[in-house]
Amino acid sequence: MKRFGALLLTTLTLTLTTACTNNGGVDLEAPVYVTVDSLDGAKVTITKHQPLVVPVGENLDPDAWTEGSVEDETIATFESGPSFRAVGVGTTSAQLTNPDTGEVYTFTLVAK
């Protein structure tokens, strides 16, 4: 019985270890965070696995930040919340509009 228990424990350990590893070959990276105050005029580098996330502050609703754009959508895309994701490689101009003040933040995205 002890032998069966040891075998079961070994099998479970190997199964859980295998299930928790990333066999797809995609390494997940933490997002790049740039605050709204630091965004205007900035040059921000992102990758397909590392998007730009823009924290808008504690008193503002991130879901209200729906007006953003990129000059070249083959390089990056805007997602409300607000964030920008790389979909290709290159450099593009990007903009984000503050929904409360109408202020437009213009910056450069470098997608690698």
- At 2-41, the pLDDT tens digits run 443 433 333 333 334 444 445 566 666 899 999 999 999 9
Residue 3 lies in a domain: no
Instruction: Give the three-state DSSP class for 86.
Output: strand
Total structural domains in the chain?
1
Residue 62 lies in a domain: yes
Range of the domain at 96: 32-111
Residue 53 lies in a domain: yes
Handedness of CA 38, 39, 40, 41 (dihedral sign): positive
Q: Quick one: average pLDDT of 82-104?
A: 97
Return left, alpha or beta for 39; rule: phi > 0 is left, psi -120 to 50 is alpha, else beta: alpha
Residue 27 lies in a domain: no
Closest CA to 46 of 6, 92, 98: 92
Residue 73 lies in a domain: yes
Residue 19 lies in a domain: no
